Structure 1
Amino acid sequence: MQRSNFMRKTAIIAEYNPFHNGHLHQAERARIETDADAVIAVMSAQFTQRGEPAAFDKWSRARAAVQTGAIDLVIELPTRFGVHRADRFASAAVAIAERVRCQTLSFGSESGDISAVTQAAAANIEATPAYQTAFKEALDNGRSSAKASSEAFGSLYPDFDLTLPNNILAYHYAKAATSIELHTIRRLGAGYHDPSVSDVMSATGVRAHYLESGMVRAVPDATRTLFQDNPMAHWSLYWPVLQYKLRTTPKDVLEQLVGIDSSLSPRLIQAGLEPTFEQALARLLTRRYTRTSIQRALVAILIHWRQDELPERFDDVPYIRPLAFNTIGRTVLKDIKKDVPLLSKYHPDLAFEARVTEAYRLPLGNRSLVEHMQTPQFIDSK
């Protein structure tokens, strides 16, 4: 095999929550269309960008992705960088892809048109006074920050729809990229929030169908095994722990946590009196506080994530942590370890992630899910 210095590496930023047929299609097309020798996934850890417990732990999801043969190496996007709004999430993930010397970043988008993505990013609409005025007006009308941003952008640049989830991330990937070539594939099948049942379903649809029917659809065999061998994590399982924290944590302590201000803290305390997660969420939702912002706040409560633990910069992830790899991925790792801080076993920098994993595994009954015992997994998938 060629030395990885001469390998063409394509990165995919993902959550694989869980890895489904659409992800398989994307990775296979990305390898072909970018002429990649190695496909590397930069993947969220135990909680997703939108503030949800991942359906399965990060090692299991990484293993399944590599077992499909479509992914050669999975690198962790740490929680401190990944459970954030789209621009921060993109900044950190793209920085990791560039740091491991990927030549191309491939991503799905609703448009499937890379020129539309790059032109929208190059327009730099957010820097204009007109955008700032429109954004402030939307906030004053009770819109959430994300909704206000997409409305303001759309009013000034209607040629690119920033209300669509994959377009939003594609736009911010393009904004964050400095040395990496961009490549997009039109999203196949159901949209992000689409719960419909078919051979190509969204991750949301796969999870919802499983909770409703106990059946698994539209996933490769490696993912199907995860459902057979593990409980699927979802917010309702964490509600007893969250209830306890909401009922016992003082208001001023809550306000020291990420995403919680003096307006939200009393609402959270009252929501802690509700008997179920969904009832609590319904009580918390407003035009200002979206489901995503509430869920991120709940992640902060669950893991006790203080504001002083936020990264100073989101484009400077301090380490590279592999979660799973095959023979091709191992070749890549052997080369990059000379130039990047590569963590393959417990290290003090991982203390925060260890805390996250302890919180994540609480309702799952998985005693083997201990952070310092987990090492990257070699998968012989070729």
Structure 2
Amino acid sequence: MGGQHMKTAAIIAEYNPFHNGHLYQIKETRRQTGADFILVVMSGDFVQRGGPAFCDKYIRTRMALACGADVVIELPALYALSSAEFFAGGAVALLEQLKVIDALSFGSESGQLSAFTDCARLLVQNPSRVHSKLERQLKSGFSYPAALERAVTEMLSENDVFSDRSGSLGHCAFRMGPAEIHALFSFPNNILGLEYCKSLFSFHNPAGCSRIIPFTLKRLGGGYHDLSPKEDAPFLSASAIRHILGHGGETLQKYVPHAVYDLLSLNNLLTPPVTENHFSSLLHYKLISERDKGFTDYLDCDGNLSDKICKNIDNFTRFDTFCSLLKSKDITYTRISRVLMHILLNIKTPQFFKKPLHQRNLLAPYARLLGFRSQAAPLLHAIKKSSAIPLLSKPADARFLLNEEAYALLQQDFFCACVYESIAAPYRGRPPINEIKQSPIITA
């Protein structure tokens, strides 16, 4: 990130909820990169595991701003509710078009950036071979992470894989043994980190790849799936914190920053969170309404899964048990949960999702501003001056700033927010948020 210009580091996050590990990431990213500003791209009201956020995006924006983020921009629901590949790709496409980001920070289990960059370059520089091997593994019944791991392992065993590439990349990649490769593909944060690097290295621009430099921090504390606090763990995962909230949040105070705990308390959020099961009736109605035509138009729902959904609709009781009913060796619970949310929220497969990675240009035609600190005015000015896409601070003005395709994507975000509010507002005992009239959160 050389030069004398203003330095900005980005973080892609959900903050579901914000915890001490997130605070550590913001502080260390700022310290180690020398960033003047931290810009966060955050999921809106629904998150990547295929469920609703535990609370609305505006409270989560306040949490981020109170804990060191300077600007928070919303990740469109199309990407927020997608697989790791498209979650990362959409977020990177958005960041790239802002034209002000110098580094992208992400957490990983090892904290070793070279493993991610070497593997990402292998995948990006050999697209046809990766595609054929990946498809074969997927057809054999492996989940996407397992299939990708097997494809990479197979490629690294082929001596000519780097015959038309630089020797340095091949040397580094071949030093990764089976154990290192397996570790890379065994944790959700690692998978996302790899996808971030892939997206950066495959971004289409005159320079051939993104100008944004990847940067990783070793995760500390509980793993993604660890639900119980460990005495020696400095941090808890968001999953563990949601688990605590589900059983009463009295013990939460030591695992989240003081500002976050105050926001949780002030907004009556130290209680069981909104979950996918609160959307069960809406989903059941949608499934019954469309069972005759099937569900293959919806994002990531192939014919086999559509048939399976149709055959089991009469056994529907609630969201989570229906996911468990449909789960199998080759279809993970998380993928099913995302697909059911796609159906509920009317998220269909866009044409640009269907192209191979090396031909793909993901649509990220606007940057929806959720909030900012007043001290971040220089960054906002730089974005407005340099960005290739509009910075939307007033949703009502969007129809005058966006073309038809871009406005349709934004309307999808509005619809998702309305569905979320239809459940979350009465559950929390508050008025629903009017997405069109909502202004960005501004803090000191």
In 1, the alpha carbon distance for the partners of 2:152 and 2:247 equals 37
RMSD: 2.4
Residues 148, 116 of structure 1: alpha-carbon distance in 2 compared, 3 angstrom cutoff: closer
Matched, 1:200 2:235: yes
Corresponding residue to 1:328 among 351, 375, 382: 375
Q: Tell me if structure 2 keeps the 8 A contact 1:56–1:226.
A: no
Percent identity over the alignment is 34
In 1, the alpha carbon distance for the partners of 2:75 and 2:16 equals 14
* 1:25 aligned counterpart, secondary structure: helix
Structure 2 counterpart of 1:373, which letter? Answer: K
Residue of structure 1 in register with 2:126 after alignment? 127
Corresponding residue to 1:209 among 224, 244, 252: 244
Residue of structure 1 in register with 2:316 after alignment? 274
Residue of structure 1 in register with 2:16 after alignment? 17
Residue of structure 1 in register with 2:292 after alignment? 251
In 2, the alpha carbon distance for the partners of 1:300 and 1:219 equals 31
In 1, the alpha carbon distance for the partners of 2:337 and 2:125 equals 26
Q: Deviations over 1:83-119 (max 9, x none)?
A: 2222222122122223331111111111101222212
Residue of structure 1 in register with 2:256 after alignment? 219
Corresponding residue to 1:188 among 202, 220, 226: 220
Residues 308, 8 of structure 1: alpha-carbon distance in 2 compared, 3 angstrom cutoff: closer
* 1:184 aligned counterpart, secondary structure: strand
Residues 369, 172 of structure 1: alpha-carbon distance in 2 compared, 3 angstrom cutoff: same
Q: Tell me if structure 2 keeps the 8 A contact 1:53–1:360.
A: yes
1:136 deviation in Å? Answer: 4.3
* 2:72 aligned counterpart, secondary structure: strand
Q: Tell me if structure 1 keeps the 8 A contact 2:50–2:341.
A: yes
Matched, 1:43 2:103: no
Q: Tell me if structure 1 keeps the 8 A contact 2:45–2:416.
A: yes
Matched, 1:342 2:391: yes
Written as runs of structure 1 = structure 2, the 5 A alignment for 1:255-334 is: 255-269=296-310, 270-271=312-313, 273-308=315-350, 315-334=362-381
For structure 1, the residue ranges without an aligned partner over 5 or more in a row are none
* 2:46 aligned counterpart, secondary structure: coil
Residues 272, 371 of structure 1: alpha-carbon distance in 2 compared, 3 angstrom cutoff: farther
1:249 deviation in Å? Answer: 2.0
Corresponding residue to 2:197 among 147, 150, 174: 174
Q: Across the two proteins, how many residue pairs are aligned to each other?
A: 375
Which deviates more, 371-380 or 272-281?
Answer: 272-281
For structure 2, the residue ranges without an aligned partner over 5 or more in a row are 157-175, 201-209, 355-359, 400-406
Written as runs of structure 1 = structure 2, the 5 A alignment for 1:16-165 is: 16-68=15-67, 70-100=68-98, 101-124=100-123, 127=126, 131=130, 134-155=133-154, 156=156, 158=178, 159-160=180-181, 161-165=184-188
* 1:373 aligned counterpart, secondary structure: coil
Which deviates more, 292-301 or 78-87?
Answer: 78-87
Residues 271, 200 of structure 1: alpha-carbon distance in 2 compared, 3 angstrom cutoff: farther
1:216 deviation in Å? Answer: 5.1
In 2, the alpha carbon distance for the partners of 1:308 and 1:182 equals 28
Structure 2 counterpart of 1:144, which letter? Answer: S
Q: Tell me if structure 2 keeps the 8 A contact 1:125–1:153.
A: no
In 1, the alpha carbon distance for the partners of 2:296 and 2:132 equals 29
Look at both structures and tell me which one has the larger radius of gyration over its CA atoms: 2
In 1, the alpha carbon distance for the partners of 2:373 and 2:144 equals 41
Q: Tell me if structure 2 keeps the 8 A contact 1:243–1:273.
A: no
